[in-house]
Amino acid sequence: MSETAYPPVSAHLDDVEAARTEGRRKMDWAAQHMPILEALREEFEADKPLSGQRIAMAMHVEAKTANLVELLALGGAEVTITGCNPLSTHDDVSAALDTHENITSYAVRGVDEEGYYAAIDAALEINPTITVDDGMDMVAAIHEDHPELLESIVGGCEETTTGVHRLRAMDADGALEYPVFAVNDTPMKTLFDNVHGTGESSLATIAMTTNLSYAGKNVVVAGYGYCGRGVAKKAAGQNANVIVTEVDPRKALEAHMEGYEVLPMREAAAKADVIITTTGNRDVVVEEHFEVMNDGVLLANAGHFDIEIDLDALDELAVDRYEARDGVEAYELADGRRLNVLAEGRLVNLASPIALGHPVEVMDQSFGVQAACVRELAENGDAYDAGVHDVPDELDRDIASIKLDAEGVDHDTLSDTQAEYLDSWDHGT
């Protein structure tokens, strides 16, 4: 791999060997619970479908992601990876990945903004044929700063809702220059990762970080999309009183019909013991809300970027600020109230000091789809125009079938008569 000004992860660590050993241990544990990647691994190792491909990735670099990265390398690709959030990298996993002869990892936890973008630039020095993004920062860097790379890129994959929103906006402006699969939007991803993954891991991380219970507390969930639905359901399952805030009347109605209290944020904030934002939007919790919050409230964000809770405004209001626990920053206001912000307002389930991200089984599905899409680009990339593309339905179904086989779950299939009936329009009463 080429020499870059920004060095791979090992140059940033004191005890690289210990980090590699621990990172590999984490990867091995995750791999034991990733039957989809295991099945794909056999195919990829045998067929080498990614031979000759150069893949640049910007993802949350932790054990599950690392198993996807290794799968792509085993499939014949040369891979570079960096983080997609300054706080979500596990340095030990990053170091373990970097030992693979076909993988270079630039991901380091706690980089500043300059380091974050320098690492993306370094990963792009591979001159990629395929990109894999979580949030679209890599696609943006290519289009804005390295347009010369567009020539050789066959296509890309995008992991999360915010990235797909950004890509669709770019596509609508005619600015997206290569095809990208909206991996986030496919059923095998959204219905499991966004709903169950975000619900379970956000709540677990908040509970572990604070050592507090949800039972009997008012938990405000901002946004009742896929992620919010999961957070709300699982918080209710832990005996919280769930309050939902929404801007979309249909989502607000859905939350209401599920039995949750629906309120504007101004009223919800005054009742909250915990607020979790899951909107993918900005300025969801702002000064007027801080003004009415209870002493001791917990503020956490599970959306992709750290702009859902206005921390600049909170900082202005605060007369004191201190680390109340690892991963919890208390902002003390003039009247003595303490508002506690988790993980610096970054996505709590990945950026908290103890965060592990989604459960392994969930990411096995998401990354199974990612791997299938990367293979599709390598094999049939020319068939896709520049723009955002849905994941081909048969790829998504294949991943579901692999998982069901691994779980030993059998299910019915359509008979010919049933299939014909469902495709027809002339059978009435």
Distance of CA 42 to the CA centre of its chain: 26
Q: Say what the alpha-carbon torsion angle 304, 309, 312, 318 is, to the nearest 10 degrees.
A: -140
Q: Is 65 in the site for ligand NAI (CB under 6 A)?
A: no
Residue 302 CB, nearest distance to ligand NAI (Å)? 4
Q: Are 186 and 368 in contact (CB under 8 A)?
A: no
Between 10 and 198, CB nearer to ligand NAI: 198
Segment lying near ligand NAI (by CB under 6 A), choices 233-241, 275-283, 309-317, 407-415: 275-283
DSSP symbols for 243-311: EEE-SSHHHHHHHHHTT-EE--HHHHHHH-SEEEE--S-S-SB-HHHHTTPPTT-EEEE-SSSTTSB-H
Site string for ligand NAI, 283-302 (x = CB under 6 A): -x-----------------x
Using CB under 6 A as the binding rule, the residues of this chain from 114 to 143 that contact ligand NAI are none
Q: Is 223 in the site for ligand NAI (CB under 6 A)?
A: yes
Between 177 and 200, CB nearer to ligand NAI: 200
Instruction: Tell me the helix, strand and coil percentages in the chain, rounded to 5.
Output: 50, 15, 35
Residue 308 CB, nearest distance to ligand NAI (Å)? 8
Among 80, 198, 209, 340, binds ligand NAI (CB under 6 A): 198
Residue 43 CB, nearest distance to ligand NAI (Å)? 27
Counting residues that bind ligand NAI (by CB under 6 A) gives: 29
Q: Is 220 in the site for ligand NAI (CB under 6 A)?
A: no
Among 69, 136, 222, 235, binds ligand NAI (CB under 6 A): 222
Segment lying near ligand NAI (by CB under 6 A), choices 67-75, 160-168, 256-264, 410-418: 160-168
Residue 231 CB, nearest distance to ligand NAI (Å)? 9
Among 89, 94, 160, 340, binds ligand NAI (CB under 6 A): 160
Q: Are 374 and 55 in contact (CB under 8 A)?
A: yes
Using CB under 6 A as the binding rule, the residues of this chain from 322 to 381 that contact ligand NAI are 347, 349-350
Residue 412 CB, nearest distance to ligand NAI (Å)? 30
Among 26, 64, 234, 304, binds ligand NAI (CB under 6 A): 304
Q: Is 88 in the site for ligand NAI (CB under 6 A)?
A: no
Tell me the CA distances in angstroms from 80 to 72, 163, 216, 266, one per residue in order.
Answer: 11, 19, 46, 45
From CA 319, how far away is CA 141, in angstroms rounded?
A: 38
Q: Is 271 in the site for ligand NAI (CB under 6 A)?
A: no
Among 10, 80, 89, 161, binds ligand NAI (CB under 6 A): 161
Q: Which residues contact 194 (CB under 8 A, 6 or more apart)?
A: 161, 184, 225, 226, 227, 230
Question: What letter does residue 180 receive in the DSSP assignment?
Answer: E
Between 39 and 263, CB nearer to ligand NAI: 263
Q: Are 96 and 20 in contact (CB under 8 A)?
A: yes
Residue type, position 383, single letter: A
Among 49, 156, 303, 327, binds ligand NAI (CB under 6 A): 303
The helix (run of H) or strand (run of E) holding residue 371 is helix 360-380
From CA 202, how far away is CA 351, in angstroms rounded?
A: 10
Between 143 and 251, CB nearer to ligand NAI: 251
Between 16 and 204, CB nearer to ligand NAI: 204
* Token pair listed for 117: 């973008």
Using CB under 6 A as the binding rule, the residues of this chain from 230 to 259 that contact ligand NAI are 245-248, 251
Q: In the complex, which residue's CB is closest to ligand NAI?
A: 225
Tell me the CA distances in angstroms from 24 to 11, 37, 38, 368, one per residue in order.
Answer: 18, 16, 16, 20
From CA 234, how far away is CA 362, in angstroms rounded?
A: 15
Segment lying near ligand NAI (by CB under 6 A), choices 12-20, 94-102, 120-128, 278-286: 278-286
From CA 306, how far away is CA 135, in angstroms rounded?
A: 12
Q: Is 80 in the site for ligand NAI (CB under 6 A)?
A: no
From CA 335, how far away is CA 313, in angstroms rounded?
A: 16
Chain contacts with ligand NAI (rule: CB under 6 A): 160-162, 193-194, 198, 222-228, 245-248, 251, 278-281, 284, 302-304, 347, 349-350
